[in-house]
Amino acid sequence: MHPLLLPELLSLVLDYIEPEDRPSCSLVCWTWYSNFNPLVWDTCTVDPSPSPISVQAVKKNAQCIHTLIIRGFIAPDYFTVQYPNLHTLKMQCRHMLLGDPGIDNDTVIQMWRGAATLINRSPSLSTIDIAAQRYSIANEIWEAIRNSPKVKTLILSHVKINAEQSPNFWKACTVLEKLDLDACLFTVAPTPSHFPLLKDIRFGNLAGITPENQIHIMSLCPELKSIFWHGGMPISAIHRFTIGIVDRGEFKKLDSLDLTGLFIRDDDLRRVIKHMKQPIKRLALVQTGFGPSSLTALELHFHVIQELNLVDCLEISSKNIARLLRSCPLLVSFKAGELSSLDVKEDESWPCSDRLLTLLVNIQLAEDDVQAASRRVFACLSKLTSLRLLNIAKYTSVMGGSQKSGRPLQLRLDCGLSLLSTLRYLELLIFDRWGQSMTMEEGIWIKTNWKRLVAIGGKFNDNNEQDIQIRSLFQDLNSRYDRRRLKA
């Protein structure tokens, strides 16, 4: 076999090239074409640019398209293409808010009807994601979703649901398993009845639906396993939610809860956690009153919890953060506040070491012996061999409190940085914008040892000239990361 055709080489190439480089790879030879062309077309973006992808090219490669992204108003012909393997449809129409004078109401209606046709003609479609800046969506969309054999996820951002569409919208939701509504506007109160399939609800900053009605909708989902509930909620609504779990025994299958930013006291959170019927797998309580009482209730779930986010919870001490890292063997993502080096013991193991992918804690050095303290912390971090994201920067609190002051963990070779050579899968590193004294030697070490790194953030050295010099090593790396974020 020719070396170019080795599967190992093809896989390696994929790890290091950007999506925009894949078309060039497909020109190398026929085998490379057959391997890379499906990747080139896996995600297809169509927009009204001066030189858009042609309808003919889309038709030719339609079977390779799994994600179709439509930005703005496009020619109707794109909607009539048969997409046999399409899984995700994204319609991004946020620019409508700016009021394009060339777009009238008939054009908008034609687009929604075209999208409904596409949904009806895509037998594998499972996820629909629409952002429309408070534009109403035609009833044909809701009817197509309701009649689709596989659509189970609906994500809406800044969409307006008026009185005429409301009944059809809620009927469409009866066939869904996941409903994600962000900053949507409802002009009439909902009149839902029952959602037998909904397992995942995400409500954020909704207008026109009272918090009490949002809770009522949740209570109509007997299979509900995950709740994401954000926005300015009055104390009465939060109390109603607490009562629903504690006294009424609602949400019996709930194992994932995200109440970020809600004003919930420590004792109320304790009652909620204590009365959840299922082992908790995911919990996000950013900027809430989570404290010692809640932590005690959470102990029963230490052995099963996989994702835990306690950022900006002012009552959680460094000792408690260290305890969580020592007590939760299945953690894959952990985010919290300040962790003092005094609470990191080299002889104590972090049982989640072979699973943890994301770690966000502000590690502060509390001892005078900076080198010894740093080495002890690095020795513990080196055990996290699966880690993808490491963020040790100080978090700016919005809760009115302040974190303890200390010295940032020193990312220097003479402080033990080389111990982190075990983090072979690290993709993102973030550290403080002050307090570091790295040299080019550390920069070269980072670039040499963490080959999968796609972005790095922080100030390498308090001396601006040295910081710029080290930063130049990562200029291409961060620009590639920025391009990926823009495309996401």
Where does a domain end: 224, 258, 279? 224
Query: Does 258 map to a domain?
Result: no
Query: Does 329 map to a domain?
Result: no
| 407 and 379 housed in the same domain | yes
* Sign of the CA dihedral running 472, 478, 482, 487: positive
| 120 and 154 housed in the same domain | yes
How high is the pLDDT of residue 329?
95
Contact 209, 187 (CB under 8 A): no
| 209 and 353 housed in the same domain | no
Residue 487 has pLDDT above 50, yes or no: no
Residue 198 has pLDDT above 80, yes or no: yes
232 by Cβ neighbours in 10 Å (0-12 / 13-18 / 19+) ranks as exposed
User: What integer is the mean pLDDT of 189-208?
Assistant: 90
Tell me the average pLDDT of the chain.
Answer: 87
How high is the pLDDT of residue 341?
93
At a CB cut-off of 8 Å and minimum separation 6, what does 106 contact?
none
Spatial separation of the C-alpha atoms in residues 38 and 176, rounded to whole Å: 29
Query: Does 167 map to a domain?
Result: yes
| 54 and 166 housed in the same domain | yes
User: What's the Cα-to-Cα distance from 312 to each of 1, 268, 358, 399, 403, rounded to whole Å?
Assistant: 56, 18, 17, 7, 9
Residue 73 has pLDDT above 60, yes or no: yes
Contact 43, 67 (CB under 8 A): yes
Strand pairing report for 358-365 and 407-408: antiparallel
Q: 104: domain CATH number?
A: 3.80.10
Amino acid (one-letter) located at 13: V
Provide the H-helix boundaries in 43-94.
Answer: 55-60
| 105 and 7 housed in the same domain | no
| 52 and 11 housed in the same domain | no
| 133 and 196 housed in the same domain | yes
Residue 4 has pLDDT above 80, yes or no: no
pLDDT-derived band of residue 225, with 50, 70 and 90 as boundaries? very high
What does the block give as tokens for 262?
A: 């809600």
Where does a domain end: 224, 258, 286? 224
Q: Is the pTM of this model over 0.75?
A: yes
Closest CA to 386 of 346, 427, 347: 427
Percentage, residues of the chain above pLDDT 70? 87
- DSSP secondary structure code for residue 457 in this structure: E
Where does a domain end: 200, 224, 248? 224
What does the block give as tokens for 381?
A: 């971090």
DSSP H or E stretch at residue 200: strand 200-204
What is the distance, to the nearest Å, from the Cα of residue 36 to the centroid of all Cα atoms in its chain? Answer: 27
Return the top range by mean pLDDT from 85-94, 274-283, 400-409.
274-283
Residue 192 has pLDDT above 80, yes or no: no
Number of domains in the chain: 3
Query: Does 300 map to a domain?
Result: no
| 4 and 61 housed in the same domain | no
| 388 and 452 housed in the same domain | yes
- DSSP secondary structure code for residue 220 in this structure: T
Query: Does 486 map to a domain?
Result: yes
The full 3-state SS of 115-170, as one line of letters, equals HHHHHHCCCCCCEEEEECCCCECCHHHHHHHHHCCCCCEEEEECCEECCCCHHHHH
How high is the pLDDT of residue 398?
56
Spatial separation of the C-alpha atoms in residues 311 and 394, rounded to whole Å: 11
pLDDT-derived band of residue 425, with 50, 70 and 90 as boundaries? very high
At a CB cut-off of 8 Å and minimum separation 6, what does 444 contact?
473
| 62 and 210 housed in the same domain | yes
| 376 and 440 housed in the same domain | yes
The domain in which residue 406 lies consists of 346-488
Closest CA to 195 of 231, 215, 219, 163: 219
- DSSP secondary structure code for residue 356 in this structure: -
Q: What would the pLDDT profile of 288-323 be if each residue is shown by its tens digit?
A: 999 999 999 999 999 999 999 999 998 999 999 999
User: What integer is the mean pLDDT of 8-30?
Assistant: 67
Contact 141, 115 (CB under 8 A): yes
Query: Does 332 map to a domain?
Result: no
Query: Does 418 map to a domain?
Result: yes
Q: What would the pLDDT profile of 102-148 be if each residue is shown by its tens digit?
A: 566 777 788 889 999 999 999 999 999 999 876 778 899 999 999 99
Query: Does 430 map to a domain?
Result: yes
Strand pairing report for 127-131 and 153-157: parallel
Please provide residue 101's backbone torsions phi and psi, each rounded to the nearest 5 degrees: -65, -20
| 144 and 9 housed in the same domain | no
